[in-house]
Protein backbone atom coordinates (compact mmCIF):
# COMPACT_ATOMS: atom_id res chain seq x y z
CA UNK A 1 0.00 0.00 0.00
CA UNK A 2 1.04 3.66 -0.36
CA UNK A 3 2.07 5.30 2.90
CA UNK A 4 1.26 8.94 3.54
CA UNK A 5 3.89 11.34 4.85
CA UNK A 6 2.58 11.36 8.40
CA UNK A 7 0.91 9.08 10.89
CA UNK A 8 2.65 5.90 9.76
CA UNK A 9 5.04 3.47 11.37
CA UNK A 10 7.78 4.44 8.85
CA UNK A 11 8.57 7.96 7.77
CA UNK A 12 11.49 10.28 6.91
CA UNK A 13 12.47 13.84 7.68
CA UNK A 14 14.69 16.49 6.04
CA UNK A 15 17.07 18.83 7.84
CA UNK A 16 15.67 21.74 5.79
CA UNK A 17 12.98 22.06 3.15
CA UNK A 18 13.75 25.45 1.62
CA UNK A 19 17.06 27.10 0.79
CA UNK A 20 19.48 28.42 -1.81
CA UNK A 21 21.81 26.70 -4.27
CA UNK A 22 23.87 24.80 -3.39
CA UNK A 23 21.36 23.57 -0.78
CA UNK A 24 22.51 20.73 1.48
CA UNK A 25 19.87 18.44 2.96
CA UNK A 26 20.26 15.56 5.39
CA UNK A 27 17.45 13.00 5.19
CA UNK A 28 16.69 10.67 8.10
CA UNK A 29 14.57 7.55 8.22
CA UNK A 30 12.26 7.29 11.23
CA UNK A 31 10.18 4.38 12.51
CA UNK A 32 8.17 3.42 15.57
CA UNK A 33 8.53 -0.28 14.75
CA UNK A 34 11.48 -2.56 15.34
CA UNK A 35 14.20 -2.16 12.74
CA UNK A 36 13.74 -5.82 11.80
CA UNK A 37 10.55 -4.83 10.00
CA UNK A 38 12.61 -2.82 7.46
CA UNK A 39 15.39 -4.72 5.73
CA UNK A 40 16.14 -2.60 2.63
CA UNK A 41 16.05 1.03 1.56
CA UNK A 42 15.93 2.87 -1.74
CA UNK A 43 15.99 6.66 -1.65
CA UNK A 44 15.20 8.82 -4.67
CA UNK A 45 15.93 12.43 -3.80
CA UNK A 46 14.34 13.89 -6.93
CA UNK A 47 17.55 15.44 -8.28
CA UNK A 48 18.95 12.35 -9.98
CA UNK A 49 20.69 11.06 -6.85
CA UNK A 50 19.72 7.83 -5.07
CA UNK A 51 20.92 5.83 -2.08
CA UNK A 52 20.47 2.37 -0.57
CA UNK A 53 21.58 3.39 2.90
CA UNK A 54 19.33 3.66 5.91
CA UNK A 55 21.21 6.86 6.83
CA UNK A 56 22.10 8.44 3.44
CA UNK A 57 24.85 10.98 2.91
CA UNK A 58 24.02 14.67 2.73
CA UNK A 59 22.31 15.52 -0.55
CA UNK A 60 23.29 18.67 -2.47
CA UNK A 61 20.67 20.38 -4.64
CA UNK A 62 22.65 22.48 -7.13
CA UNK A 63 19.80 23.40 -9.48
CA UNK A 64 16.90 25.62 -8.38
CA UNK A 65 13.48 24.02 -8.42
CA UNK A 66 10.92 22.04 -6.43
CA UNK A 67 11.74 18.41 -5.59
CA UNK A 68 9.71 15.42 -4.39
CA UNK A 69 11.93 12.94 -2.52
CA UNK A 70 10.73 9.38 -2.03
CA UNK A 71 11.71 6.33 0.03
CA UNK A 72 10.95 2.75 -0.97
CA UNK A 73 11.63 0.20 1.74
CA UNK A 74 11.59 -3.61 1.95
CA UNK A 75 12.10 -3.78 -1.82
CA UNK A 76 8.39 -3.28 -2.43
CA UNK A 77 7.24 -0.33 -4.53
CA UNK A 78 3.91 -0.48 -2.73
CA UNK A 79 5.75 0.44 0.45
CA UNK A 80 6.68 3.95 -0.60
CA UNK A 81 6.77 7.27 1.17
CA UNK A 82 6.52 10.11 -1.34
CA UNK A 83 6.67 13.71 -0.15
CA UNK A 84 5.44 15.81 -3.04
CA UNK A 85 7.13 19.22 -3.45
CA UNK A 86 8.92 18.81 -0.12
CA UNK A 87 12.14 20.59 -1.15
CA UNK A 88 12.22 24.12 -2.62
CA UNK A 89 15.56 25.39 -3.89
CA UNK A 90 16.16 29.00 -4.92
CA UNK A 91 18.86 30.25 -7.30
CA UNK A 92 21.91 31.88 -5.76
CA UNK A 93 23.41 34.44 -8.15
CA UNK A 94 27.24 34.20 -8.03
CA UNK A 95 28.99 37.36 -6.87
CA UNK A 96 31.59 37.20 -9.65
CA UNK A 97 32.85 40.56 -10.88
CA UNK A 98 35.20 41.98 -13.47
CA UNK A 99 37.35 45.08 -13.29
CA UNK A 100 39.41 47.21 -15.61
CA UNK A 101 41.54 50.30 -15.24
CA UNK A 102 41.05 53.65 -16.89
CA UNK A 103 43.55 55.98 -18.53
CA UNK A 104 44.56 57.17 -15.06
CA UNK A 105 46.54 54.33 -13.49
CA UNK A 106 44.84 54.32 -10.07
CA UNK A 107 41.20 54.61 -11.22
CA UNK A 108 39.48 51.23 -11.63
CA UNK A 109 35.96 50.24 -12.63
CA UNK A 110 34.31 47.22 -10.96
CA UNK A 111 31.15 45.52 -12.26
CA UNK A 112 29.11 42.51 -11.21
CA UNK A 113 29.34 40.09 -14.16
CA UNK A 114 26.59 37.48 -13.69
CA UNK A 115 23.04 37.52 -15.14
CA UNK A 116 20.27 38.32 -12.68
CA UNK A 117 16.88 36.67 -12.29
CA UNK A 118 14.00 38.90 -13.42
CA UNK A 119 11.54 39.78 -10.71
CA UNK A 120 14.09 39.34 -7.91
CA UNK A 121 15.57 42.26 -6.00
CA UNK A 122 19.30 42.28 -5.25
CA UNK A 123 21.65 44.11 -2.92
CA UNK A 124 25.30 44.55 -3.97
CA UNK A 125 27.78 45.29 -1.19
CA UNK A 126 31.43 46.05 -2.00
CA UNK A 127 34.12 45.75 0.65
CA UNK A 128 37.17 47.46 -0.88
CA UNK A 129 40.30 47.67 1.21
CA UNK A 130 40.93 51.17 2.67
CA UNK A 131 37.37 52.28 1.77
CA UNK A 132 34.02 52.19 3.54
CA UNK A 133 31.47 49.66 2.19
CA UNK A 134 29.71 50.67 -1.02
CA UNK A 135 26.51 49.44 -2.66
CA UNK A 136 25.41 49.02 -6.25
CA UNK A 137 26.32 46.68 -9.13
CA UNK A 138 29.04 49.02 -10.49
CA UNK A 139 31.75 51.02 -8.75
CA UNK A 140 34.42 53.48 -9.86
CA UNK A 141 37.29 53.50 -7.39
CA UNK A 142 40.30 55.82 -7.13
CA UNK A 143 42.98 53.96 -5.20
CA UNK A 144 45.37 55.99 -3.05
CA UNK A 145 48.59 54.35 -4.23
CA UNK A 146 50.21 51.59 -6.25
CA UNK A 147 49.67 48.42 -4.23
CA UNK A 148 47.65 45.22 -3.99
CA UNK A 149 44.14 45.71 -2.61
CA UNK A 150 41.56 43.15 -1.51
CA UNK A 151 38.13 43.63 -3.08
CA UNK A 152 35.07 41.59 -2.03
CA UNK A 153 31.56 41.66 -3.49
CA UNK A 154 28.53 40.20 -1.70
CA UNK A 155 25.29 39.73 -3.64
CA UNK A 156 22.11 39.10 -1.64
CA UNK A 157 18.58 38.72 -2.99
CA UNK A 158 15.18 39.24 -1.37
CA UNK A 159 14.79 35.47 -0.96
CA UNK A 160 17.76 35.36 1.40
CA UNK A 161 20.24 33.81 -1.03
CA UNK A 162 23.74 35.25 -0.79
CA UNK A 163 27.19 34.72 -2.29
CA UNK A 164 30.58 36.41 -2.01
CA UNK A 165 33.62 36.70 -4.28
CA UNK A 166 37.02 38.04 -3.21
CA UNK A 167 39.82 39.13 -5.57
CA UNK A 168 43.25 40.68 -5.16
CA UNK A 169 43.64 43.77 -7.37
CA UNK A 170 47.07 45.03 -8.37
CA UNK A 171 47.09 48.78 -8.91
CA UNK A 172 50.11 49.81 -10.93
CA UNK A 173 51.41 52.54 -13.18
CA UNK A 174 51.43 52.17 -16.90
CA UNK A 175 54.71 50.91 -18.30
CA UNK A 176 56.84 53.56 -19.99
CA UNK A 177 58.54 52.69 -23.28
CA UNK A 178 61.09 54.94 -24.97
CA UNK A 179 60.95 55.23 -28.74
CA UNK A 180 64.52 56.35 -29.51
CA UNK A 181 67.99 55.23 -28.37
CA UNK A 182 71.55 55.57 -29.63
CA UNK A 183 73.96 52.70 -28.77
CA UNK A 184 77.19 54.61 -29.59
CA UNK A 185 78.95 54.25 -26.21
CA UNK A 186 78.74 57.93 -25.33
CA UNK A 187 76.91 57.04 -22.08
CA UNK A 188 73.87 59.01 -23.20
CA UNK A 189 70.75 57.00 -24.07
CA UNK A 190 72.93 54.02 -25.02
CA UNK A 191 70.33 51.37 -24.05
CA UNK A 192 66.76 50.55 -24.79
CA UNK A 193 65.53 50.08 -21.20
CA UNK A 194 62.20 48.72 -19.92
CA UNK A 195 61.40 48.18 -16.23
CA UNK A 196 58.35 46.40 -14.82
CA UNK A 197 56.72 48.86 -12.42
CA UNK A 198 54.76 46.01 -10.86
CA UNK A 199 57.90 44.04 -10.06
CA UNK A 200 56.80 40.94 -12.00
CA UNK A 201 58.56 39.44 -15.02
CA UNK A 202 57.92 40.74 -18.50
CA UNK A 203 58.90 39.47 -21.93
CA UNK A 204 60.32 41.78 -24.60
CA UNK A 205 60.85 40.92 -28.26
CA UNK A 206 62.46 43.13 -30.91
CA UNK A 207 61.85 42.64 -34.65
CA UNK A 208 63.16 44.22 -37.83
CA UNK A 209 60.66 45.93 -40.10
CA UNK A 210 60.70 42.71 -42.14
CA UNK A 211 59.46 40.77 -39.09
CA UNK A 212 62.75 39.04 -38.22
CA UNK A 213 63.23 38.48 -34.48
CA UNK A 214 66.58 39.97 -33.44
CA UNK A 215 66.28 40.15 -29.65
CA UNK A 216 64.26 38.43 -26.94
CA UNK A 217 64.54 38.57 -23.14
CA UNK A 218 62.57 38.02 -19.93
CA UNK A 219 62.93 39.65 -16.52
CA UNK A 220 61.80 42.58 -14.40
CA UNK A 221 64.27 44.93 -16.12
CA UNK A 222 65.22 44.46 -19.78
CA UNK A 223 68.03 46.28 -21.57
CA UNK A 224 68.96 46.08 -25.23
CA UNK A 225 72.16 47.49 -26.68
CA UNK A 226 71.22 47.14 -30.34
CA UNK A 227 72.89 43.75 -30.82
CA UNK A 228 71.60 40.29 -31.59
CA UNK A 229 71.90 37.43 -29.11
CA UNK A 230 75.16 36.42 -30.82
CA UNK A 231 76.60 39.92 -30.29
CA UNK A 232 76.23 41.23 -33.83
CA UNK A 233 75.69 44.98 -33.99
CA UNK A 234 72.56 45.84 -35.94
CA UNK A 235 72.21 48.71 -38.36
CA UNK A 236 70.49 51.94 -37.36
CA UNK A 237 66.88 52.16 -38.36
CA UNK A 238 63.32 51.43 -37.25
CA UNK A 239 62.54 48.32 -35.22
CA UNK A 240 59.31 46.90 -33.83
CA UNK A 241 58.92 45.90 -30.15
CA UNK A 242 56.36 43.67 -28.41
CA UNK A 243 56.00 43.59 -24.61
CA UNK A 244 53.86 41.34 -22.43
CA UNK A 245 53.71 40.50 -18.73
CA UNK A 246 54.36 36.87 -17.89
CA UNK A 247 52.08 37.09 -14.83
CA UNK A 248 50.32 39.58 -12.56
CA UNK A 249 48.76 41.71 -15.28
CA UNK A 250 45.06 40.70 -15.56
CA UNK A 251 44.15 43.89 -17.42
CA UNK A 252 46.97 43.43 -19.98
CA UNK A 253 48.34 46.84 -19.03
CA UNK A 254 51.83 45.75 -20.01
CA UNK A 255 50.78 44.28 -23.35
CA UNK A 256 52.27 46.89 -25.65
CA UNK A 257 53.64 47.08 -29.16
CA UNK A 258 55.26 49.94 -31.03
CA UNK A 259 58.15 51.21 -33.12
CA UNK A 260 61.64 52.01 -31.89
CA UNK A 261 64.19 54.14 -33.73
CA UNK A 262 67.85 53.26 -33.27
CA UNK A 263 70.42 55.76 -34.50
CA UNK A 264 74.16 56.31 -34.06
Per-residue buried b or exposed e for 80-109, using 16+ beta carbons within 10 Å of the residue's own CB: ebbbeebbbbbbbbbbebebebeeeebebe
Query: Torsion-angle region of residue 160: left (phi > 0), alpha (psi -120 to 50) or beta?
Result: left
Q: What is the pLDDT of residue 103?
A: 56
Contacting residues for 34 by C-beta, under 8 A, at least 6 apart: none
Q: What is the pLDDT of residue 33?
A: 67
Q: What is the pLDDT of residue 105?
A: 64
Rounded distance, CA 154 to CA 164, Å? 4
Rounded distance, CA 25 to CA 18, Å? 9
Q: What is the pLDDT of residue 104?
A: 60
Cα Rg, the chain, nearest whole Å:
32
Q: What is the pLDDT of residue 12?
A: 95
Domains of the chain: which residue ranges?
2-90, 97-171, 180-262
Report the percent of the chain where pLDDT is more than 70.
90
Q: What is the pLDDT of residue 150?
A: 96
**Which fold is adopted by the domain 2-90?**
Immunoglobulin-like (2.60.40)
**Which fold is adopted by the domain 180-262?**
Immunoglobulin-like (2.60.40)
Contacting residues for 232 by C-beta, under 8 A, at least 6 apart: none
Architecture of domain 97-171: Sandwich (2.60)
Q: Is 234 exposed, middle or buried (0-12, 13-18, 19+ CB in 10 A)?
A: middle
* Ranges of the chain with pLDDT below 70: 1-8, 33-37, 75-78, 102-105, 174, 198, 250-251
Q: What is the pLDDT of residue 145?
A: 84
Q: What is the pLDDT of residue 77?
A: 64
Rounded distance, CA 128 to CA 136, Å? 13
3-state secondary structure of 37: helix
Q: What is the pLDDT of residue 102?
A: 65
pLDDT tens across 120-138, in order?
999 999 999 999 999 999 9
Q: What is the pTM for the complete model shown?
A: 0.65
Q: What is the pLDDT of residue 199?
A: 73
Q: What is the pLDDT of residue 252?
A: 75
pLDDT tens across 142-177, in order?
998 878 899 999 999 999 999 999 999 888 776 778
Q: Do the Cβ atoms of 191 and 225 come closer than 8 Å?
A: yes
Amino acid sequence: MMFSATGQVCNFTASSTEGCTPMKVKFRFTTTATIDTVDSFYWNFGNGETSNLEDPDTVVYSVPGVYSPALIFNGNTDQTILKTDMITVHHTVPANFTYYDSVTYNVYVFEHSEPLDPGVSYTFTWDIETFSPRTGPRQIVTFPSMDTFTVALTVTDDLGCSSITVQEVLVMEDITVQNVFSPNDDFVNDLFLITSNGGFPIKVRIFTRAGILVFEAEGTTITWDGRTASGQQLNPGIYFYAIEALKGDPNKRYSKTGFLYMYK
